[in-house]
Amino acid sequence: MEKRWKIKSASQSDSEIVDCQKTLTEKGKKVSSVILQLLKNRGIVSEKEIDGFFSFDYENDIHDPFLFADMNKAVSRIIEAQEKKEKIAVFGDYDADGVTATALMAQTLEALGFSGVHIYIPDRQIEGYGMNYDAVDFLAKKGVKLVITVDCGITGIEEVARAKKAGMDVIITDHHHVPNRLPEALAIINPHLENSAYPFCDLSGVGTAFKLADALYRKIKPKEKEQLKWLLDLVAIGTIADCVPLLGENRILTKYGLIVLSKTKRIGFLEMFKVGRIAIDENNLPDTQKVAFQISPRINAAGRMDHASISFNLIMEKEQTRARELALEVEDTNQSRQKITGEIVRGVRALAENSFKDKKLIFAANIHWRVGILGLIAGKIADEFRKPTAIFQKQDTEFVGSLRSIPQVNIIEALEKCSELLVKFGGHAQAAGVRVAHDKMEKFYEKLDGIIERELSGKDISPEIEIDMEIKLQDISWDMIADIKKMEPFGEGNSEPVFLAKDAVVEGIKIVGNGNKHIKLTLRANSGGPKIFEAIGFGMGEKFSSLKPGDVIQMVFNLQEDEWNGSKKMQMKIIDLKLQTV
């Protein structure tokens, strides 16, 4: 399906940009008009916002954790548990955000002198997301008196009540959508709570757990608070994996976290890098893409295919031989996950092309599909067909499913309208999980389908590429690339800039890579300028195989620095291109 190109800004002549640049220049701050336009596209327009985007400091720009309404209550209860030598359990989640949050909290409590802390991560296939009765009963039998949840718990009304009845207090740290009714926990740390004075609401699960860790250090070992920085590698991984906006505090935590990751002393990570051939060290600073596509999938794979405790143990492991074994197990699990997911996606794609061709909601279920990969399948199908997608595993008494949506539909709000038909649900605007009893499934499908049909009525849902701005080939320079690099880390809310260039003449073409997968172009401006540019289209060898020298094209691309064997060059990473009619 051909994608529409949507340009946010066609030129740099915006009077607002011109005025802003003039004001900054007068104050000795040099910011190019290109960068100012890119920032404006991201909602960053005032001088204060621009300064904050480029000039931030971990020590001074991280918010006080005690701004959370229940933080004092949570910290006091944890200190009380230490004084009374009570058993504490950390109850986590099985995705990369949840596993890193669990590891962060476990490491924090260990460093602060807590001993015998129980770690509980539910089995995705058997237990599903969040707290459950069996887990609560298990922890009660172990003598646990305090449960700290990370990346989960905000919907656990009955489970928290059961824990309370069993003599356990519960502290919830979560960042998910806040339901109308809250669990009666001792304390709830969630940046989305209405009564929270915390100024940044887009923290990830591990980011929220980090705020509790920060508060604990301030009260228990304030002189050792510097040790918190060594937890930022976990914060960066979980934050990137959970696709929360990389603006504000998330930008700070991720920026410093990537630096910590490049210097990591964690044996488990070092072994993962070796086994997976991931180039990360002090000379190879990781970017968000490397985390999102190489590290997070490996951490996630254990929870999807087996049990997330494998990834948790890998992160926490201090003995090299055992870390190597766990890294190999994670690598094997990830490869298996890729193969099985690919096979199922092909089957669901055929279903979507036929049975759901004229529907706005794609819906599929199978008794054999593992719960852990349902979200991956739903995500791939939703992206490909530009339709909300629900993928389920049929279990003995329930259907367990994952839903992925498109920007035009807030899926968690749609599920709230179906709540009377659901056993359990939770998630975000674009991703959610549900459990539905067998006898309610047909009604649920009909109601959700109707909601989405009405929501999308009259809306254009064809795929589009959002372009930041048009630039001329002859204006591309090393200074522009250096300025763009200052905008890192890129991610949700601060995506890598996308440019449009017209009047580009194809000078040369190469098909490269195994199986002729990729296309490599040399380009020059049609105006006859002396500059020659290289462009690479990964996976586009077949799609644009008919291109020939002399063709004039317009191209959508990212502008990057490419380094190979110590040599640096400017490179355009092709997103899409079209022949230009003269």
**Residue 26 above 80 pLDDT?**
no
d(CA 99, CA 16): 45
Mean pLDDT, the chain, rounded, equals 92
- Name residue 177's beta-bridge partners: none
71 and 42: one domain? no
- Return the ∠ at Cα 186 (arms to 181 and 189), rounded to 5°: 70
Say if residue 303 is in the same domain as residue 401: no
Q: At residue 550, what is the residue type?
A: G
In a domain, 519, yes or no: yes
Rg (CA), the chain: 25
Q: Is the confidence at residue 437, as pLDDT, over 90?
A: yes
- Same-domain status, 534 and 566: yes
What pLDDT, on a 0 to 100 scale, did the predictor assign at position 515? 66
We report the CATH number of the domain holding residue 302 as 3.90.1640.30
Give the CATH number of the domain where residue 563 resides. Answer: 2.40.50.460
| Same domain for 519 and 427 | no
Statement to judge: residues 190 and 313 lie in one domain:
yes
Cα–Cα distance between 214 and 400 in angstroms, integer?
A: 36
Examine residue 225 and state whether it is found in any structural domain, yes or no.
yes
pLDDT at 12 over 80: no
- Least confident span in 59-73, 85-99, 230-244, 501-515: 501-515
Question: Can you give the pLDDT at residue 1?
Answer: 60
**pLDDT one-digit tens code per residue, 175-211:** 998 888 999 999 999 999 988 889 999 999 999 999 9
Least confident range from 13-17, 30-34, 327-331, 464-468: namely 13-17
Q: What is the pLDDT at residue 59?
A: 87
pLDDT band per the 50, 70, 90 thresholds, residue 541: confident
- Our count of domains for the chain comes to 4
Whether residue 266 is predicted with pLDDT greater than 80 in this model: the reply is yes
- Same domain, residue pair 191 and 161: yes
The pLDDT value recorded for residue 177 is: 84
**Distance (Å) of CA 196 to CA 152, 188, 213:** 18, 10, 18
DSSP for residue 309: H
Which of 98-112, 428-442, 481-495 is modeled with the greatest confidence? 98-112
User: Sorting pLDDT into bands at 50, 70 and 90, what band is 580?
Assistant: confident
Tell me the pLDDT band of 10, cut-offs 50, 70 and 90: very low
187 sits in which H/E element: strand 187-189
Domain span holding position 42: 11-51
Tell me, yes or no, whether 261 and 169 share the same domain. Answer: yes
Question: Measuring CA to CA, how many Å separate 257 from each of 489, 494, 572?
Answer: 11, 17, 28
The answer on 542 and 511 residing in a single domain is yes
Same-domain check for residues 264 and 407: no
Residue 554 resides in a domain: yes
Decide if 277 is inside a domain: yes
Is residue 463's pLDDT more than 70? Answer: yes
The structure's pTM equals 0.88
Q: Is 104 inside any structural domain?
A: yes
C-alpha separations of 401 from 174, 367, 376, 377 in Å: 21, 11, 11, 11
Cβ-contact 295, 214 below 8 angstroms:
no
User: Average pLDDT, stretch 345-358?
Assistant: 93
CATH of the domain at 422: 3.10.310.30
Mean pLDDT score, 4-31: 75
Q: Kindly state whether residues 428 and 522 are assigned to the same domain.
A: no
375: three-class secondary structure by DSSP: helix
Q: What Cα–Cα distance (Å) separates residue 321 from each residue in 302, 317, 569? A: 19, 10, 40
Q: 477 versus 516: which is more confidently predicted?
A: 477
Q: Based on the fold, state whether residues 108 and 37 are members of the same structural domain.
A: no
What pLDDT band is residue 128 in, cutting at 50, 70 and 90?
A: confident
**Does 9 score more than 50 pLDDT?**
yes
Give the pairing of strands 389-394 and 567-579: unpaired
Q: State mean pLDDT over 379-384.
A: 94
d(CA 438, CA 519) in angstroms, rounded, equals 49
Say which amino acid occupies 127. Answer: E
* pLDDT (average), residues 36-58: 88
The residue out of 456, 475, 502 marking a domain boundary is 456
Q: Residue 214 pLDDT more than 60?
A: yes
The per-residue pLDDT for 45 is 85
Say whether both 45 and 80 belong to one domain.
no
Beta strands in 77-159 (DSSP E): 87-91, 118-120, 144-150
Q: Looking at 431, 456, 481, which one is the last position of a domain?
A: 456
Question: What residue has token string 């179906």?
Answer: 418
Boundary-marking domain end, from 418, 433, 456: 456
In a domain, 513, yes or no: yes
pLDDT of residue 129: 82
Our measurement of the distance from residue 235's CA atom to the centroid of its chain's CA atoms, rounded to an integer in Å, reads 12
196 located within any domain: yes
Lowest mean pLDDT among 38-47, 149-158, 236-245: 38-47
Is 446 inside any structural domain?
yes
